[in-house]
A and B are shown apart, each in its own frame.
Chain A
């Protein structure tokens, strides 16, 4: 498989996953506001700002907007073309990557991705958004899920497919950890909060909803929502497909499908780092995590996921090659050395 193609498949599925996650975050938080009508402006800012922070684009946000309000944050996260991680930008990037590997993906997958692209690119998107934001987000989420399903059900599960899986699970693990970090300001630096107010409980259940985890969580813990249980569920649950542990397991598995190296061994840094993270999440308890502080832990976790992505790039995508000028020199030297053997009737241009 061409390295460039592997790279595009990886990013195509990362961007789709990103668009879907942002759609869920914004959707859930808009709905949450309906339950929190008596919030003052300060509390509102505290509600919206962390959402920008989760995406890691705070600096750019303030370059474009003065304050974090429902309007500015949703505009920034949904439509803003200057924000490379907005929903619309992510969909455009996913589609651009798909276009570059159009020959590697199926008609079904391409048409759906292309349909989603034209949906967000035409003025009707804003109209749908204005009339009913949740309808708008529903369309994005459904389309993303359809794309994930089409990827699973229509693409051949070859090397390229596994690269797409790696992209999806890295992005999903990263986004789950960032969503979980939304309310870190209400937590002590280390340890668990002493009390959980009603507003806090609503906000922590919003975190679950942002990860499509509400129903799954309830089957295990009932309606009791506490930061400890939510964090445990989203970080360490073995079976929930959006928990960090689940995603890292799948990611590790996909890496080994690509290389053919068995578990417990590694042939590149991506596998080494992924294997370590798998072990860490398997043999870690939520209390240990709160003891060192959830926010700090999540921060380091995101760093580790980044490192895995970087190592993957180094192992498969980026191969040492000369820059163009050097390459031209090398080739010209080689040609000159051989030109003596050429027929003399050939007139060369240089």
Chain B
């Protein structure tokens, strides 16, 4: 802290912050502070600008020193970057979280029932709720797993469901990530950083802990072990140190106390999986794989994959090894399938969805397609099977050329495109520069673990689009993150 900034005590952090014409998480109608931010803001405003700057810099430095980084593909200036972290936490009151939790449990229950049905009786197709064409043309539908019984009948063991809020503050589900969602390590590391930075705040504001995640994850992995294995060996399968989420893989393995393995560390003999150790081959029973289906086993999927394990799928089918997530969950990630999730909830649970979907137009349906093509400039158009903010057109922000390009794509491959109205995402005060705070758009990804029971660690990853006006929060596209505080109470 320097004397110079101390001489300006009148500059109070967050003073003059305005919600403007957006739904703001901190400031409500009439620019009034929302009650669940009151205690935080009071404590936060006791900081001077210089103190805040100090804290901000020491957090950045700590992340770099600890190697809390992600790899950037195709960036020659150094392949590792820290995921920009904003010190202002996003706060969710207890009642709101309780609502979200119910909605997420309902959704994951329906998705797991759907996947079971899809890979067995296919009643939902026979009853005409989902047109079979969409399944059969689904890029990630694994027909070779029809009638295969997955351990404990769980398909999506770890789900990252992206939630947003619209301009009225209504929560909506934007997408379900049921393959290998990443980001949970940032939830845990962000929390650690915040505890170091604002140790006194947590108790006084009353923030629920997120620390249980690794234990719950391990518990689930042990639960799905093959029958008859009492003390299962669980490993985490990573594509390797070059993968963008490698930090997270080592982090989770370390927190769970399990081995992190690469494909070349594993070998299949007599349909059993072993790892190569200095003492010879040792059996493996459960694999938390952070590798997409396509790369798992070159004898079944992509033959050119050097990342997988030949024979792994055979061992899985034989029941000697369990995988989380199961093979074939990608069909539920398909953005066309997303459109049908409310119908799944109705069909399997006979309930109305607690957290609604964003209205979705399927380019493959004639009427929808016409609407999409007529309203491209207003809509967000997405490829059905891309992630990470790639393959997406935000109509209102796109150039004429970009719109024309997407028009061609939609016309050529209608099955692979959907469109949604452009939602004005809620905003959250975010540090811009030198103690200046502005609203930036955010989303929320809670992590849902389905094992013996369904567990959701309070909160999740709040991602923030750091570029002014941007609606894209992905780390690969200039996004950052915030700690997410779920409160014990409502104020």
Binding site for B on A (CB under 8 A): 1-6, 96, 99-100, 102-103, 107, 110-111, 114-115, 118, 121, 159, 163, 258, 316-317, 319, 321, 324, 327-328, 330-332, 334-335, 338, 343, 345-350
Contacts and interface: CB of A to CB of B under 8 A. Distances in A.
A334 B318 CA distance: 12
A118 B66 contact: no
Interface stretch (B86-94, B108-116, B260-268, B459-467): B260-268
A315 B112 CA distance: 46
B254 A324 contact: no
Given A102-B250, A316-B278, A349-B143, A114 B67 contact: yes
A318 B12 CA distance: 62
B421 interface: no
B278 A335 contact: no
Given A2-B277, A331-B299, A346 B146 contact: yes
Contacts of A114: 64-67
A292 to B, nearest CB: 37
B268 A331 contact: yes
Top 8 closest pairs, chain A to chain B, by CB? A331-B311, A102-B250, A103-B254, A316-B278, A327-B310, A331-B310, A103-B253, A328-B310
Contact of B278 (A1, A111, A328, A334): A1
Contact of B65 (A103, A115, A335, A343): A115
A102 to B, nearest CB: 4
B78 interface: yes
A139 B275 CA distance: 40
Contact of A321 (B262, B276, B299): B276
Interface of B: 64-67, 78, 143-144, 146-148, 241, 246-247, 250-251, 253-254, 259-262, 264-265, 267-268, 270-271, 275-280, 298-300, 303, 306, 310-311, 314, 318
Contacts of A331: 268, 299, 310-311, 314
A319 B65 contact: no
B147 A334 contact: no
A55 to B, nearest CB: 26
B276 A319 contact: yes
A345 B147 contact: yes
Contact of A2 (B144, B251, B259, B298): B259
Contacts of A99: 67, 241, 246, 250
Contact of A324 (B66, B147, B268, B306): B306
Given A114-B65, A114-B67, A334-B311, A328 B299 contact: yes
Contacts of B78: 121
A314 B375 CA distance: 65
A319 B78 CA distance: 34
Nearest to B246: A99
A159 B278 contact: yes
Which among A102, A110, A321 has the greatest number of chain B C-beta atoms within 10 A?
A: A102
Contacts, number: 102
Contacts of B261: 2
B179 to A, nearest CB: 19
Contacts of B265: 2-4
19 contacts: A1-B278, A3-B278, A5-B259, A96-B241, A107-B66, A110-B66, A115-B65, A118-B65, A163-B278, A317-B278, A327-B311, A328-B298, A330-B311, A334-B271, A343-B147, A346-B146, A348-B144, A349-B300, A350-B300
A113 B411 CA distance: 53
A13 to B, nearest CB: 16
B310 A111 contact: no
Indicate the member of A2, A4, A114, A121 with the most B CB atoms within 10 Å: A2
Nearest to A163: B278
A349 B268 CA distance: 20
Contacts of A345: 146-147
Contacts of B66: 107, 110-111, 114
Contacts of B251: 102-103
Given A103-B250, A334-B314, A345-B147, A1 B277 contact: yes
B250 A328 contact: no
Contacts of B318: 338
Given A1-B278, A163-B278, 16 more contacts: A2-B278, A6-B278, A96-B241, A99-B241, A99-B250, A103-B259, A111-B66, A114-B67, A118-B64, A321-B276, A324-B310, A331-B310, A334-B271, A334-B311, A348-B144, A349-B143
Nearest to B300: A349
A143 B84 CA distance: 28
A2 B300 CA distance: 26
Contacts of B276: 2-4, 319, 321
Contacts of A348: 144
